[in-house]
Structure 1
Amino acid sequence: MAFEELTSRHAVMWGSAPFENIAHLIEGMHVALVERLAPVAGERWLDLGCGVGDVAFHAARAGATVTGSDLSPTLVETARHRAAEYGLELTLEVADCQNLPYPDASFDVVSSSVGVIFAPDHARVAIELARVCRPGGRVGLTAWRKESGVGAMFGAMAPFMPTPPPGAGSPLQWGDETYVESSLGGAFDLTFEELEIPQTGEDGTGMWTFFRDNFGPSYTLWHSLDTERRAELDTTMEAFFESYRSGDVISVERRYIVATGVRK
């Protein structure tokens, strides 16, 4: 499989900060995805890139038999602790969405909310999504629009980030219907919807600091820089959030797509 070194680094990066502290910022997106996939009691449900577990929890509460998997052992362990606190029974385990350990056609539903989009090998992700979903089963993904606040945020951070290896896909590619259709349309009959989940706050410095300290990629990036570059990144990102100010409120528009489909 390509990108082994990058994938190994991602496993550490995503677990480097307490994502559970900021999971609420995308809770509405998770709910929207699960609602559109309409869980049925007893269905075999696989949530990929499950993070700290929220999509998997919603599906389990609806009665599905859920497996949640993520590349990061730390996030999976956090998800297990949260599931125990909520009294939920489901399987949570470490797995790479580019090379899944599950048999062909073993799930009725396969979901991922801004999860698999971060894997570098998009072709392998598409193959695995189709492989593990049974004929007539359902798939559902969410992905950020490139032409949105999240796309702009990643753009602001880009000059400080290392250059990805040749051929590595961008997560923002999955936010384009044409791209998703070209990747998954051969295996799934797809439909698309655009939704928005704004991020609000009162202070650009506080919004950036909160995100920086709790989101694994930004946490890892900041700590990889020397003192001068850290200060430059902080200044850049504080200005980014302040650019969305209107009066006393900052509201970053964050548009995303929900792609759902039925396995052919």
Structure 2
Amino acid sequence: MKTNEIRFRDGLAYERYMGIWSQLAGEVFLDWLAPAAGQRWLDVGCGNGAFTERVIARCAPSSMHGVDPSQQQLAYARAQPALQAAVFDEGDAMALPYEDAAFDIAVMPLVIFFVPEPARGVAEMARVVRPGGSVAAYAWDMLGGGFPYEMLLAQMRGLGHAVPSPPSPEASRTEALRELWSDAGLEAIETRAIEVSRTFADFEDFWSTALGAPSVGSTLAAMAADEHTLLKARISALLPVDAEGQITCRARANAVKGRRANPAP
């Protein structure tokens, strides 16, 4: 594996590391979308189904599909009781395995910066929704410090470690998202920022969660003992701790939505 590649293979570890963050941001995102009930949904890059579950619980879809390249993540999603009504397919965001106009809504939660060619991914979402259908996404503000674990990554880089990064972090910028949606021919484009916070029980809860990260977990585990101790001490000193020992971390995502144009009369 190249040092800059990130692979998601453990659905349970991902749920603790990022699934909870995804659902927190996803609640705000769904409030903003305000979709009608009875829609045909597609979750592109569904992973372990964390966001898919929120759609089913909140939006009463008439059908729910998720697509992801990771067999392991899909296996986790298929095993969840709350996701038994969903259909999960293995596939590539840049070549979706669906017919034109097959869905009413296509969403890409926390994924666009992982797509090597984001424009192709957005064009594919636009293709598979019906005229008048919605295409939307939200992504951590990777270049603006919005990633939930950016403090940890910065400290690791400061110690000289190469931290894996997604292939298209620039696609998470608000301006880039608006341009991608416009270039795909989508209309009525809107953007917004999403800010969320998550509370860890204590430092060890935060640290053990980080150890399960696909992006940095293996690097942390391979560190020499003295360097590992130094990094833990630095992070512990930087994290905000309340009187009960709890740690609240904040993150920021950028969101975009648009509509596929209706054909000219």
TM-score normalized by structure 1? 0.79
Secondary structure class of the residue paired with 2:216: helix
> Cα offset for 1:252?
2.2
- Aligned counterpart, 1:161: 162
1:206-236, CA deviations, whole angstroms, 9 ceiling, x for partnerless residues?
A: 41222222x322234445x4x42x7636643
- In structure 2, the CA distance between the partners of 1:111 and 1:197, relative to structure 1 (3 Å rule), is same
1:96 aligns with 2:92: yes
Could you tell me which runs of 5 or more consecutive residues in structure 1 were left unpaired when the two chains were aligned. none
Aligned amino acid, residue 60 of structure 2 = G
Contact 2:106 2:129 in 1 (8 A): yes
Q: What letter corresponds to residue 180 of structure 2 in structure 1?
A: S
Paired with 1:241 and 1:97, the residues of 2 have a C-alpha distance of 38
**For the Cα contact (< 8 Å) 2:112–2:139, is it kept in 1?**
no
- Counterpart in 2 of 1:261? 258
Q: Distance in 1 between matches of 2:228 and 2:146?
A: 17
CA-based RMSD: 2.9
The DSSP-based 3-state class of the residue aligned with 1:51 is coil
Task: Give aligned-pair identity as a percent.
Answer: 22
Q: 1:163/1:253 Cα in 2 relative to 1: closer, same or farther (>3 Å)?
A: closer
Corresponding pairs, count: 246
Gapped runs of 5+ residues in structure 2? none
The residue that corresponds to 1:105 in the other structure is 101
Equivalent in the alignment of 1:239: 234
Distance 1:246 1:252 in 2: 10
Match of 2:21 in 1: 25
- Structure with the higher helix share, 1 or 2: 1
Flag the 1:197–1:242 CA change in 2: closer, same or farther, 3 A. Answer: farther
Once the two structures are superposed, the pairs formed by residues 1-264 of structure 1 within 5 Å of their partners are 10=6, 13-16=7-10, 18=12, 19-22=14-17, 23-61=19-57, 62-64=59-61, 65-82=63-80, 85-86=81-82, 88-145=84-141, 146-150=143-147, 151-158=150-157, 159-161=160-162, 168-170=167-169, 173-186=170-183, 187-189=185-187, 190-201=189-200, 203-213=202-212, 215-222=213-220, 225=222, 227-228=223-224, 232=227, 235-236=230-231, 239-240=234-235, 242-248=237-243, 249-264=246-261
Give the SS at the match of 1:50: coil
Q: 1:153, 1:185 → 2: CA distance?
A: 35
Measured in 2, the distance between the counterparts of 1:233 and 1:181 equals: 41
Q: Which amino acid aligns with 1:120?
A: P
Instruction: State the AA in 2 paired with 1:116.
Output: I
Partners of 2:190 and 2:174 in 1: how far apart?
Answer: 9
SS in 2 for 1:195: strand
Distance 2:132 2:95 in 1: 22
Q: What is the CA distance between 1:44 and its match in structure 2?
A: 1.6
- 2:53 alignment partner, SS class: helix
For 1:81 and 1:246, the matched residues in 2 are separated by 36
TM-score normalised by structure 2 residue count:
0.79
Give 3-state SS (helix, strand or coil) of 1:232's partner: helix
Q: Is the 8 A contact 1:194 1:257 kept in 2?
A: yes
8 Å CA contact 2:68, 2:92 repeated in 1? yes
